[in-house]
C-alpha cells in the first residue's frame, strides 16, 4: 500500500493524519481528527482527561487500530481509509518513530545499556556501533555511568530519561511522548522537561501529549486542544494560550490555572 511516489518537497510533513476515527464499543473516542506535523516542529496536544489525546498517539503509533481515516509518514500511507499496510510495511513504518510512555515501560530485568541497545541490535546494527551510540545518548541524557544499572536502581526521572534514550536509539524521524511527566514529582518532572527542551532546540520533530501548560507554551510550534474526541482549537501557542477563540478552550485553561 506504500505510495510509489513521495513528495520531494522540503516542506513534506513527516506525519499526516486525515479523518481519523476510533471507537471503543459505542464510545466514540476520536471523531474525524486531522493534523500535520512538519519536520523540526514540536506539536503539543492538551485537553482534559478522556478527550482522546492518548488514543490519538496510540493510533498514530499502531498500538490501537483506527476504525477509519488515513495515517501517512513522509507522504506514504500506513493506513488508508482505515485499511492498514501489510505487516512488512508496518514494521518499516515503526522504525520511523519513537514512543515514550508515561510509566517508562523499561524492561526491569535488562540493564540500562540492554534496554537502549536491544532494538538496534534486533534491526541488524553492529554491537560496537550500537553501544557507542547508546553511550552518547546516555551522556546526552545526563546518565553517564548508569549503563550497567537496572531500572529499579534509578529514580523515576532517570528511568524516563533512559526511556527517551531508548526511543532515540533507532534514530527516528519523530518522537511521540504520552504524558511523559505524569508519573513524576515536580523536581523529577523538571529533569525530563529539560531533556525534551534540549531536543526541541536541536529541531527534533516531536508530538507531546502533556498537562504541563507553561512547557507547552514555551517549547511548541503548534498547540492542539482536544475535547470530546475532536480538535476544538489549534494554532500558535501564544494564540491558543494567550487569546483562545473557543469558549471550551477558555474554560479549560481557566480551570487549569486555578
Residues 63-109 have pLDDT tens digits of 999 999 999 999 999 999 999 999 999 999 999 999 999 888 999 99
- pLDDT at res. 100: 95
Set of cell numbers at residue 30: 476520536
Biggest CA–CA distance in the chain, Å, is 55
Q: Are strands 68-73 and 76-80 parallel, antiparallel or unpaired?
A: antiparallel
Going by pLDDT thresholds of 50, 70 and 90, the confidence category of residue 8 is: very low
Take residue 93 and report the three cell numbers written for it. 513504518
Mean per-residue pLDDT, 209-237:
96
User: Minimal CA–CA distance to 224: which of 203, 145, 232?
Assistant: 232
Is the distance from CB of 79 to CB of 70 less than 8 angstroms?
A: yes
> Does pLDDT of 21 surpass 60?
yes
Q: Kindly state the cell numbers that stand for 38.
A: 512538519
Answer whether 19's CB lies under 8 Å from 216's CB: no
For 94, 147, 148, 201, the CA distances from 117, given in Å and listed in that order, are 16, 11, 12, 25
- pLDDT at site 9: 41
What is the per-residue pLDDT across 68-77, written as a single tens digit (0 to 9) for each? 999 999 999 9
Q: Read off the pLDDT band of 156 (50, 70, 90).
A: very high
pLDDT of residue 1: 45
pLDDT in tens, 166-217: 999 999 999 999 999 988 888 889 999 999 999 999 999 999 999 999 999 9
Pairing mode of beta strands 68-73, 15-24:
antiparallel
Q: In the predicted model, is pLDDT for residue 43 greater than 50?
A: yes
Instruction: Report the percent of the chain where pLDDT is more than 70.
Output: 95
Q: Is the model's pLDDT at 256 over the cut of 90?
A: no
Q: Is a pLDDT exceeding 60 seen at residue 34?
A: yes
Question: Once rounded to an integer, what is the mean pLDDT over residues 38-44?
Answer: 97
Q: What is the pTM of this model?
A: 0.91
Say if residues 195 and 207 touch (Cβ distance below 8 Å). Answer: no
pLDDT for 257 equals: 64
Per-residue burial over 206-240, b if 16 or more Cβ lie within 10 Å, else e, is bbbbbebbebbbebbbbbbbbbebbbbbbeebeeb
Amino acid at each position: 500500500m506504500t505510495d510509489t511516489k513521495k513528495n520531494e518537497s522540503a516542506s513534506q510533513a513527516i506525519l499526516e493524519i486525515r479523518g481519523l476515527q476510533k471507537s471503543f464499543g459505542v464510545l466514540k473516542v476520536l471523531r474525524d481528527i486531522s493534523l500535520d506535523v512538519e519536520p523540526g516542529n514540536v506539536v503539543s496536544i492538551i485537553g482534559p482527561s478522556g478527550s482522546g489525546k492518548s488514543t490519538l498517539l496510540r493510533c498514530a503509533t499502531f498500538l490501537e487500530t483506527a476504525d477509519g481515516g488515513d495515517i501517512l509518514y513522509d507522504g506514504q500511507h500506513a493506513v488508508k481509509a482505515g485499511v492498514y499496510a501489510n505487516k512488512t510495511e508496518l514494521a518499516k513504518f515503526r522504525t520511523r518513530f519513537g514512543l515514550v510512555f508515561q510509566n517508562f515501560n523499561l524492561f526491569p530485568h535488562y540493564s540500562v545499556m540492554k534496554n537502549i541497545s536491544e532494538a538496534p541490535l534486533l534491526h541488524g546494527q553492529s554491537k560496537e556501533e550500537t553501544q557507542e551510540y547508546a553511550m552518547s545518548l546516555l551522556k546526552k541524557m545526563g546518565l553517564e555511568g548508569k549503563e550497567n544499572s537496572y531500572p529499579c536502581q534509578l529514580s523515576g526521572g532517570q528511568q524516563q530519561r533512559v526511556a527517551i534514550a531508548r526511543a532515540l536509539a533507532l534514530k527516528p524521524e519523530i518522537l511521540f511522548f504520552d504524558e511523559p511527566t505524569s508519573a513524576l514529582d515536580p523536581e523529577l518532572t523538571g529533569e525530563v522537561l529539560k531533556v525534551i527542551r534540549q531536543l526541541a532546540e536541536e529541531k527534533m520533530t516531536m508530538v507531546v501529549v502533556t498537562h504541563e501548560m507553561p512547557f507547552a507554551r514555551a517549547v511548541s510550534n503548534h498547540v492542539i486542544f482536544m475535547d470530546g474526541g475532536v480538535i476544538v482549537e489549534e494554532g500558535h501557542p501564544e494564540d491558543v494560550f494567550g487569546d483562545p477563540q473557543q469558549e471550551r478552550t477558555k474554560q479549560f485553561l481557566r480551570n487549569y490555572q486555578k
